[in-house]
Amino acid sequence: MGEEYVVTPAIEKLKQLLVEFPEKAARVSAYSWQYKRDAYSWSAKEILGHLVDSALANLQRFVRAQFQSAPQIRYDQNNWVLSQFWQDRPVEDILELWIVVNKQLAHVWGQLPRASYTKEVNVGSTEVVLMQLSELIEDYIQHMESHLEQINMPKVTVIAAKGKANELGKGNDLIWHLPEDLKRFKRVTSGHSIIMGRKTFESIGKPLPNRTSVIITTDNSYKKEGCIVVHSMEEALAAVHKESEVFIIGGAQVYRQALTMEAVTQLDITEVHEEFEADVFFPEIDAEVWEEVSREDYSADEKNKYNYSFVSYLRKK
Ligand SMILES: NC(=O)c1ccc[n+]([C@@H]2O[C@H](COP(=O)([O-])OP(=O)(O)OC[C@H]3O[C@@H](n4cnc5c(N)ncnc54)[C@H](OP(=O)(O)O)[C@@H]3O)[C@@H](O)[C@H]2O)c1
């Protein structure tokens, strides 16, 4: 292991994380930052706090490592969460600290004398544990990446098909048969989690293949084999936070809530150019909030009885 293999890519990686992560962090909902399974588990905020502590300790370690042979850092994993106060701090402050300290780390690594990359230092606090500085750098990046993954917030897209007057369904069922729309739904959502209200799940009747169904209900005793059952929109997002992309698939009640959530950044809408009788409707798409970014128009054919368009919107704010 040497400078070319570890140090230069690590500095690049750290700089890339400094650009990428704040963008991702902006997608994490206030609830998800705070969410703790229990008193002893870490919230996303505490994980970020832990990374600030770790960055500060490592900054000290690397500065000291240039001058001494035992730059120890001490860390008591079990007591840490109880003795820190990250949960009480505004997340913006913690994020800012994370950025500042890691920029300094990248700077220090970049300034390390070349000869010192292979220098062995004692990183144990009681026994002697020798590591090269390049190994320490690699270790730091791996540790940070694995924690940042825990904080990750997927891209959240609402997917729906609606009639001319925002019609969605009637009698807990769909009101048209549009095979092209079903195909697109399958293609787009396959391999991802799909979040839905209890009524939509019951209207579909079973978990859809190649997708993880996340069902929202107020009923604490509700269970469905092969599905994740949650009791709020926020809990639904927390349940899928490790994924890269998830879809909210309805119905009306769930769409209404989803459109107000900042974590939801895209709408993939099939407009069916026809009016239908319905008892549930999609909410108005507010042009102040949503910008149409693409539109594909299709004409009715033998299999698809109505003209329809696939339209995507992105959140402006
Ligand atoms: N055209 C389309 O693209 C499309 C897509 C999906 C669905 N649909 C249609 O939409 C209709 C169903 O929509 P819907 O509005 O009646 O029902 P829904 O949104 O599918 O489900 C509503 C149920 O979800 C649960 N729920 C929703 N928000 C919750 C929250 N914040 N916390 C806890 N539980 C929550 C509640 O379940 P509990 O009552 O169990 O507490 C609630 O009764 C059907 O006609 C379906 O065919 C159309």
Percent above pLDDT 90 for the chain: 61
pLDDT value, residue 81:
65
- For ligand 1, say whether the CB of 83 is within 6 Å of any of its atoms: no
159 burial type by CB count under 10 A (0-12 exposed, 13-18 middle, 19+ buried): buried
> Where do the domains of the chain lie, and which CATH numbers do they carry?
3-151 (1.20.120.450), 155-315 (3.40.430.10)
pLDDT value, residue 157:
96
Report residue 7 as tokens: 């140090």
| 144-195 per-position pLDDT tens digit | 999 998 887 888 999 999 999 999 999 999 999 999 999 999 999 999 999 9
pLDDT value, residue 213:
98
Answer whether residue 23 shows pLDDT above 90: no
Answer whether residue 65 shows pLDDT above 80: no
**φ, ψ of residue 302 in degrees (nearest 5):** -55, -40
| 117-147 per-position pLDDT tens digit | 888 888 877 888 888 888 989 999 999 999 9
Beta bridge partners of 229: 215
Atom of ligand 1 at shortest range from CA of 250: 6
Q: Does 135 or 65 have the greater pLDDT score?
A: 135
pLDDT value, residue 113:
82
| 192-218 per-position pLDDT tens digit | 999 999 999 999 999 999 999 999 999
Please check whether residue 283 is in contact with residue 167, taking contact to mean a CB–CB distance below 8 angstroms.
no
pLDDT value, residue 68:
65
Q: Please state at what angle helix 8-25 crosses helix 133-151, rounded to 10 degrees.
A: 20
Using most ligand atoms within 8 A of CB, pick from 172, 175, 199, 233 the residue to mutate for ligand 1: 199
Beta bridge partners of 311: 269, 295
Q: What is the distance between the alpha carbons of residues 108 and 56, in angstroms, rounded to a whole number?
A: 12
Please check whether residue 184 is in contact with residue 296, taking contact to mean a CB–CB distance below 8 angstroms.
no
3-state secondary structure 253-277: HHHHHHCCCCCEEEEEEEEECCCCC
